[in-house]
Amino acid sequence: MLTIHVAEASPDLAVAVEGNSIVAVGAPEELAAARPGARVRRWPGILMPGLLNPYGPELLEQTYHPDPREAGELGSEPLTGPAAQAVFGADEARRGASARRGVQRMLAHGTVAVAGQLRNRAVLDAVRRAGLATAGRTEPQPGVPALDPWATGRPVVWMPGPAVGGSARFAVFDARDEAELAELGGGTCVATVIGGRLVYRRR
């Protein structure tokens, strides 16, 4: 279905999506007038290209993301180092479920791509099913692995901006502008779109 995404703090940038592609970019009123039958999704904040998280292996293969049902035993925050390895050592199958939860948490921060070589098949499956793009990187990677790219201690990396004919891949953040977004971080994400699919929506 043809869908127009409009962010209230991006008055000159709306995106019309059909299937997995962007078919038009421009002012919201112009896109809507030219496509009267389109569904219009309105979001608070600003529409941005979506982020690349440079710590794919660290966050998805070496970190355990607890299931909410495990909160009493393991807490709700991601486990790293020996604590994560103890979980994986007890049951390697938990790595795939952890990766799926980790991917969802990345999407909730506006991430649309990850960097780093992923070797575990279950992790690769989780990334591919979500539609996350993958990229190489140099080793070792500086900074601190974090789901929120603004918490890594290094500059954030944006993917290419929305363009007609390109893949419908972007995120919307509940911030007035990029300066406020940098101050508040990726937790302000209200929507993430990959391949035309709304893969995350804040409730």
Residue bearing the bigger pLDDT, 199 or 88: 199
pTM score, two decimals? 0.94
Q: What is the CATH number of the domain that holds 45?
A: 2.30.40.10
Residues 83 and 37 in one domain: no
Q: What's the pLDDT score for residue 89?
A: 84
Can the peptide bond before residue 140 be classed as cis, meaning omega within 30 degrees of 0?
yes
Cβ neighbour number for residue 163 with a 10 Å cutoff: 11
The answer to whether residues 129 and 39 belong to one domain is: no
**Residue 140 pLDDT > 90:** no
Sort residue 185 into left (φ over 0), alpha (ψ -120 to 50) or beta.
left
Q: How far is CA 53 from the centre of its chain?
A: 8
Q: Are the C-beta atoms of 123 and 60 separated by less than 8 Å? A: yes
Whether 112 maps to a domain, the answer reads yes
Distance CA 64, CA 77 (A): 9
- Report d(CA 179, CA 133) in Å as an integer: 26
pLDDT tens sequence across 178-200: 999 999 999 999 999 999 999 99
> Domain range holding 121?
53-151
Quick one: 36 and 96 in the same domain? no
What percentage of the chain carries pLDDT values higher than 90?
92
DSSP H stretches of helix in the chain: 28-34, 56-60, 71-74, 81-90, 94-107, 121-130, 178-184
Structural domain contains residue 62: yes
Together in a domain, 88 and 144: yes
14 with 57, same domain? no
Q: What is the pLDDT of residues 53-68, one digit of tens each?
A: 999 999 999 999 999 9
* Angle, CA 122 vertex, CA 19 and CA 117 arms, to 5°: 85
pLDDT at 139 over 80: no
Longest dimension (CA), the chain: 58
